[in-house]
A and B are shown apart, each in its own frame.
Chain A
Amino acid sequence: MRRALLLGGLAVLALALAALPFMSGNYLVRLATIAFMYVVLASSWNIIGGLAGYPSFASAAFFGLGAYGSAIVRAHAALPLAWCAGALTASLFALLIGPAILRLRGHYFAVASLVLAPVLRELVNGATDLTGGGMGLTLPGSTALSVDATARLYYAVMLAAAVGTVLFTILILSSRLGWALRCIEQNEDASTVLGVNTLTAKVAAFVASAAPAGLAGAIYATWIGYIDPTDVFDDLLSVKPIVMAFLGGVGTIAGPVFGAAIFVALEELVWRNVLNFHAGILGIIIVCLLVFIPGGLGSFRHAAARVRALASKQTNGTARVRSAA
């Protein structure tokens, strides 16, 4: 019954997503494309941050590398090749830096991952010949497609990336790597004793987290047509995926997806109404989310269940709730 409901819901969602670009204006299509990009970022962060429980602030580094990787390749090659190059650049970087910083834990790992994006920003700023430095890079646009068709193309590509990232997460979760990451998340020393090669698993998770984030950056770069270091290595790109994952539920498959959808709506609401102070409002939203609903919106479901149990079984319900709590 529940399975049928789930499948039915997914089918309706798929139909709605397929129909959207033909039923609505370009504004909604653009907003949806951003939402898909956020789904990719939140879900990919979830692999290292949620499944393995490592407080990574490296999303901006992956995103920016993906954007520059694709922008540089795009000058000589076709779009799909540029996207692959972006994902590959970010993964290679994760593979190189991962074995070093993943030996660190907790606060130290958080700081080490946080400084990656500023360093890359400066390096890209300095390598003027390759990256255009602070002037940024302008990507060749496609003249063959109309504005509407381009919007629909990127809608579809970003949607595919989002679905792909979610499926990728499911694949990881059901594999040996998923088990290893879950073990590491709960108790890293104990998982070493159990024979899990923790460093290999963590690096695999880091790379698996980098590839989709890099892909998102790559698609973004070709979509927007212009990138510069402060834009694609923005520290906010590291924090937003964390907030989205928290909003929906860290370490779950659906959590980051819902979180991204809600976050996009919130962010757009703020952007539309208070342009001058949007970062400040965003800050307030982030703080309120973490302070008031630390378990994410999913925690309301448990709260509701508890209230129902209390109402229906007044006599023995209380005892059950207490033991559950």
Chain B
Amino acid sequence: MLYVQVLVNGLLLGGLYACIAAGFSLVWGVLNVINILHGSFVVLGAYLAFFAYTALGIHPYLFAPIAALVLFGLGYAIQYTVVNRVIEAPVLVTMTATFGLALLLDNIMLVAFKADFRKINLVPPLGVVDVGKLVPGLNVVVPVDRLASMLFALLFVALLYLLLRRTAVGRAIVAVRMDRYAATLMGVDPTVIFALTFGIGAALAGAAGALLSPIFPISPLAATSYLGKAFVTCVLGGLGSVSGVLVGGLLLGVLESFGAIFLGPEHALTLSFSVLIIFLLFRPSGLMGKRGFV
């Protein structure tokens, strides 16, 4: 029964990981940029949610769309003014440039918000659901805040899917991802699409940040940890597809959960990065295979 509980915990985490990685994967796939800033976007979203809750009393789940909107503006501006200038450069340049931007944003947050760990304590607390009472024999508890965060996170991932699938902008993004030059000939302006895509990536990170603010402690130092989750999720599931992110995120959540039981929580990072390198070597296209375009 312990294993069922561990599995449930992993899946709850995995939904959040999918949301964190969705924007990262989109930017990697469309712009061909490994965005080191992504983890900092998540942290910024969490801080915004924290202050919205403590100062204005806005519930983090309601605030998630607002955080997404703010981060969209920031991401759009950063891409348009800075990243766009190095977009044609080799991976070394784009990665180092976004690393520089991450240093800047992390430092701004460190100065503005201090290094103290903060956490939203929801009042009243949402409590837990004892599944054993509903389904006799199944002795599993589900924390409601984690469940809600996971469901909202999956909702954002679903919204991304619909956006890419159903809207003109989404189709243009997919077209630029498939062939930038052909898309240009069809009347799509890649510069605008790049900025939009980067904005959407940041928006998803911001939403994920707001959603995890009631669960995890918030600190500027957590940025690299979230970035690592995005790396592993992307490589596990396969790059640039929503289904890949979903599978990768849930798998990573379960993997970390079981890893914590069998190896101890201090080896979570080693485990996930080892899996990352193994996947890169033996299955670089990820579990979902094929270069999926949504």
Contact = CB atoms under 8 A, between A and B. Distances in A.
Given A101-B277, A107-B91, A279-B106, A122 B269 contact: yes
Contacts of A243: 96
A115 B228 contact: yes
A16 interface: no
Contacts of A57: 95
A6 B268 CA distance: 54
Interface stretch (B63-71, B97-105, B137-145, B177-185): B97-105
Contacts of B5: none
Contact of A290 (B96, B273, B277): B96
Contacts, number: 118
Nearest to A50: B92
Interface stretch (A73-81, A171-179, A281-289, A306-314): A281-289
A125 B265 CA distance: 13
Contacts of A110: 34, 91-92, 95
A300 interface: no
A237 to B, nearest CB: 12
For the side of the interface on B, what is the size category? 35 or more
Contact of A119 (B108, B235, B274): B274
A55 interface: yes
Interface in B57-86: 82, 85-86
A201 interface: no
Contacts of B100: 239, 282-287, 290
A46 B254 CA distance: 40
A100 B284 CA distance: 13
Interface residues of A, number: 41
Interface in B1-53: 28, 32, 34
Contact of A287 (B97, B107, B269, B270): B97
B123 interface: no
A126 B266 CA distance: 7
B236 to A, nearest CB: 13
Contacts of A55: 90-92, 95
Contact of A286 (B96, B105, B228, B267): B96
Nearest to B268: A122
A24 interface: no
A22 interface: no
Given A55-B92, A107-B28, A284 B281 contact: no
Contacts of A112: 276-277, 280
